[in-house]
Amino acid sequence: MTTDNTNTTRNDSLAARTGTWLQSLLVWSPGQRDIIKTVALVLMVLDHANRILHLEQTWMFLAGRGAFPLFALVWGLNLSRYEHIRQASVNRLWGWAVVAQFGYFLAGYPWYEGNILFAFAVAAQMLKWCEYHSLVWSVSALTLLVLWFPLSSTSYGAVGIILLMLCHRIYRTTHLSVRSMLALCLFPVVALVNLQDGVTAAVSGVLVTYMVVRMVSGIRWPAARFWPADFFPVFYFCHLAVLGVMAL
């Protein structure tokens, strides 16, 4: 009996330490979120410049593997702040995705391939519909995923949607054991997101994501956000348009 109590105490202590570690690693202030988004923006620009301008720099390509996972984590945390996802926010995301598609096409991508903002919009819409706990809305969510899949080969496909939904779920759950398990799932899912570009790209995506999160989690300044609302979609469209013009 004493041994059982001791083991239970040790397990509880381990769970508590794990929870504290995850809290410090994955929960950020608004300022920390903007720092992570800034790093992700830099990585994204490096990756897109390398692709669109045909620079063929391996280090730029590998560094860029961490951009989408970092954006996904911040997006998941931001979305989880509300008890229910607001359809107005999802609609605004759809709107920005449509606007950004012109820049995506100008940058040399096929017109029928959806840009990454569509991936965020699809994931957010699916999560919103699943909140209704209705068979009809659940089927609608799956239908949306099926419709998105053939248009998403340049935006991480179905695996990208899985990563986005996983990031949201990590922050929404209140159970420590579930959060720990989901956090561990991040590593293989981030690897899968980049696996289409090779094993080296998959490993690079995991390492870059972890290193950025680890470093930023130790930064305590600034506490407040410093980027205005909708800065990312505006920047996303503008940088694609600029790179597209440069590539002409």
Q: How far apart are CA 195 and CA 241, in angstroms?
A: 28
Residue-wise pLDDT tens digits, 11-30: 556 555 666 667 667 888 88
Residue-wise pLDDT tens digits, 149-161: 999 999 999 999 9
pLDDT for residue 10 is more than 60: no
Residue-wise pLDDT tens digits, 98-130: 999 999 999 999 999 999 999 999 999 999 999
- Under a CB-based contact definition with an 8 Å cutoff, are residues 223 and 28 in contact? no
Work out the average pLDDT over 198-213: 96
| pLDDT score recorded for residue 3 | 54
| pLDDT score recorded for residue 7 | 52
pLDDT-derived band at 221 (thresholds 50, 70, 90) equals confident
Domain positions in the chain are 2-247
Phi, psi torsion values for 110, nearest 5 degrees: -60, 145
pLDDT higher at 35 or 1:
35
What's the sign of the alpha-carbon dihedral 151, 157, 161, 162?
positive
Work out the average pLDDT over 189-217: 95
